[in-house]
A and B are shown apart, each in its own frame.
Chain A
Amino acid sequence: MNNMRVLIVDDSSVMRKIVERSLRQAGISLGHVLEAGNGAEALAALNQGTVDLILCDINMPIMDGLEFVKQLPGVENAKGVPVVMITTEGSEGHVVQALSAGARGYIRKPFTPDQVKEHVLPILAEKL
């Protein structure tokens, strides 16, 4: 898992940095990290190129994470790209909604780097 291209979608720039740091602490070698502050920005970023993994918040202005995930099947550069939600919305209903929409994993905030590792590494391993 070297030089992975990752898209981190969260309206908090602080949280985007924490997620990136957690990925590095999980031993994931990041080549290029794209950032987006909402789902619409993330779709625009994906129009510029593909990534290996998307980590996405749910509650965001303009376009939330669930709507973003629902739109991904229509995005050529997102085909086969796993999405892991990282969000404060931790209810079972939200988890079901996210997984039904196409997300592969779900991490509740607050989280530890170990939780990120536990959820993300198996998903990335499937891609190899």
Chain B
Amino acid sequence: MNASTPRLAETEGRESWPLLLGLAAREVFSLMLGTQLAAAPESFPEEGLDVTSMVGLAGRVCGVLTLRCSAASAALIASKMLGVDAGQDGAEVWDAVGEVSNMIAGNFKNKITGMGDGCMLSVPTVITGADYSLRALVDSDKVEIVQLFEGSALIVSLEVHS
């Protein structure tokens, strides 16, 4: 698998975005972690997804990409990225999850013609804990995919301001 999948024109609409977002996430996990994401069941428990990484998009597309997973999954992400056994300290785990979300956002926008140059990414922000609400101050559309990472749910959302 590589990250050079043919890109779709931005003008073709957003119906392809869930597909491209899933592809972007799968490529990042495959290339950087050496693991394959699997399709998630239709219903899954959202409890315990208490690590959230956010990357802002600004320019031709404005919004935020979020990656949510459990603390155990976050530690496993860091472990697989670094090629060492689990047990990294908190800062390294947050750094790894932030970098994964950054790469998913970048890989996604690079698959859409015209978005790469016209859309900048922020540096990632990682939140721990699940007791929070995220509210956009303008109308927004949301694309969300759910994948299984080593058997645990992982949610990638792209909230785009309309």
List chain A positions with a Cβ less than 8 A from chain B.
Answer: 11-15, 17-18, 21, 59-61, 87-94, 108-112
Contacts and interface: CB of A to CB of B under 8 A. Distances in A.
A110 B3 contact: yes
Interface in B78-100: 78, 81-83, 91-92, 95-96, 98-99
B107 interface: yes
Contact of B107 (A11, A94, A110): A110
Contacts of B121: 59, 88-89
B31 A112 contact: yes
Contacts of A14: 78, 81-82, 92, 95-96, 99
Main SS of chain A's interface residues?
loop
A21 B83 contact: yes
Interface string B69-81: 0000000001001
A86 B60 CA distance: 23
B27 A91 contact: no
Contacts of A93: 116-117
Contact of A109 (B92, B103, B109): B103
A14 to B, nearest CB: 5
A17 B78 CA distance: 11
Contacts of A111: 3, 31-32
In this complex, the interface size class of chain B, counting residues with CB under 8 Å from chain A, is: 20 to 34
Contacts of B52: none
Main SS of chain B's interface residues?
helix
Given A59-B123, A88-B121, A112-B31, A15 B99 contact: yes
Contact of B32 (A87, A89, A110): A110
**Of residues B3, B27, B92, which shows the largest number of chain A Cβ atoms within 10 Å of its Cβ?**
B3
A89 B116 contact: yes
A108 B110 contact: yes
**Of residues A14, A17, A61, A93, which shows the largest number of chain B Cβ atoms within 10 Å of its Cβ?**
A14
A90 B81 contact: no
Given A110-B3, A110-B32, A91 B110 contact: yes
A72 B98 CA distance: 29
Contacts of B106: 87-90, 108-109
Contact of A60 (B83, B91, B120, B123): B123
Interface string B119-133: 011010000000000
A18 B99 CA distance: 11
Contacts of A61: 123
